[in-house]
Chains A and B, each alone.
Chain A
Amino acid sequence: MDSKQLAWLIRRHGIEMTHLSGGSHIGAILSVADIMAVLYSDILKYDTTNPKWCDRDRFILSKGHAGGSVYAALAESGFFAVDELKTHYQNGSRLSGHVSHHLPGVDFSTGSLGHGLSAGVGMALAAKKDKKQHEVFVVLGDGECNEGSVWEAAQTATHFGLDNLIAIVDNNKMQSLDYCVNTLDAGSLYDKWFAFGWNTFVVNGHDHDALRDKMNTIKNGKPTVIIAETIKGKGVSFMEEDILWHYRFPHDGWEYDCAVNELHKIKPDGVQDIYTPNGIINPKLPDANEINKDIHHTMSETYKPTWNKQEA
């Protein structure tokens, strides 16, 4: 499976998992989908028959709320049955909303922001001490970079010359309630990481070739960070850059139907949609008189009544 196909499947599973469970964070799953797909298709060394293989690359999804993306990537890569994805959030499931290591292929549990990079620094430092060749990858959110511990980890990685560590920031410009710039304006993330001594790159986070090109360590004694410019909700037009979809899940009706059909419009050849193989025939469409009466969650300027886009 190539990274384009995997990215599409992550998005499709993300819609289904949040739809079935009423789970949050579809916007983040969609923004990080391409990053996850490139990692699991082309970059990470792993062995699905031996998830604890000692020479595997380590991976931490520090923005654990996008857990649906890693579950989909793991299932499609063969760590467990794709069918299990339907249990996401459900009673008795292994797939908690935020990433749990009680699942094959997960190296580290996350969910509280600002922990993952430090753990990755520890893994990379141990690998250096033991002269191991594997690499450590950590995906963070841009909102997550509010956490001071991220910067504790950033300077530690530089201090110890951890050129076996790659961080990827899913720079989707939004956090829980609003745009990042309206929340805690961090200025330029590039300037910050660069000032902390990292090899720093900015790429289009939905351009697989660009991501692949930079997801290699540079053996110059410095850790590497890729600031991946992404769009929150990428792939479903009415979810894009609308903070509503940080928490809202695609409900029965037009939200689910339109999300599925939009994905089908961009479905790459060679992938199967196990839920709705041919998309949804006769989808429900939004009715401006009925929808969104009860979802005024936010004062943010990013809150946009989503039917406008659908009508357009």
Chain B
Amino acid sequence: MTATEAYSRPNAAPEDRYYTYAYLDEQTKRMIRRAILKALAIPGYQVPFGSREMPVPYGWGTGGIQLTAAIIGPEDVYKCIDQGADDTTNAVSIRRFFATVADVATTEDTGEATIIQSRHRIPEQPLADGQIMVFQVPQPEPLRGLEPRETETRAMHAYGEYGLQYVSLYENISAYGRIAATAGYPVMIDERYLMSPSPIPKFDNPKMHMNPAILLFGAGREKRIYAVPPFTRVRSLDFEDYPFETQSWDEVCALCGANDSYLDEVVLDDQGQHMFVCSDSHYCADRRAKGHAGPMAGHALAHIETEIAAEEA
């Protein structure tokens, strides 16, 4: 048997297909599933797990890949995004990885996917019952920047001593006059555990509150799994006189005209021209296919985007 056959056997007999299915061996998947169940039972609690070495370096999504490998099945439809986009290198590579090792259908359509793996974003289209979001987490410990001792942060979680986290917000206000933290904004899960939502922008924090989907977080290097079960209260920390706010833009998406999505600024030339576009590529393409147009929709290069969008629609 060649190496390729070992990973991709679309026509193999089912018993062969399910043995060491999706890259990881059965014992590892079992261990990860146990960790996931514990994480779901204690929302926001970081469950240690025996993170395996993966065929990509730490920092490239090993935690998320292991989570996905443990939960994926042949009937799943898999979507992978990086910075909201389906077509960036990492997203394409990881999607191709699972298409190969798990023999699953892949999609860019948020609504169609059963498992969405992500770093940095929660899709704009609201998640639905039955969907699972898998987050790749670099640093699962929200208190780490302030308290370097693991023994101490564990005690702080155990006893619910979260005053320290407010020190970072205090620092923000005294330095910038507002809570300037934008990504990885700390949240309280069900008023019990403090959780880092991975580097998603705080724009996405409200989407986690009472979300019908399962949110799973995996940190490969730090060897932690945590989760937010469906319909769980998620509160972003703030001060009484400085309430939590999400980012907002004066511009709309230059391509699709959306004013309710998370926008990325794209520099166009050396003269300072720039445009704002949706970070969620599927959301933007979907809107354009439905006929929405932003201020730069008629740009010389825009027809390429329109054609792609039309093909996908």
- Answer yes or no: do A and B interact: no
Q: Which residues of A contact B (CB under 8 A)?
A: none
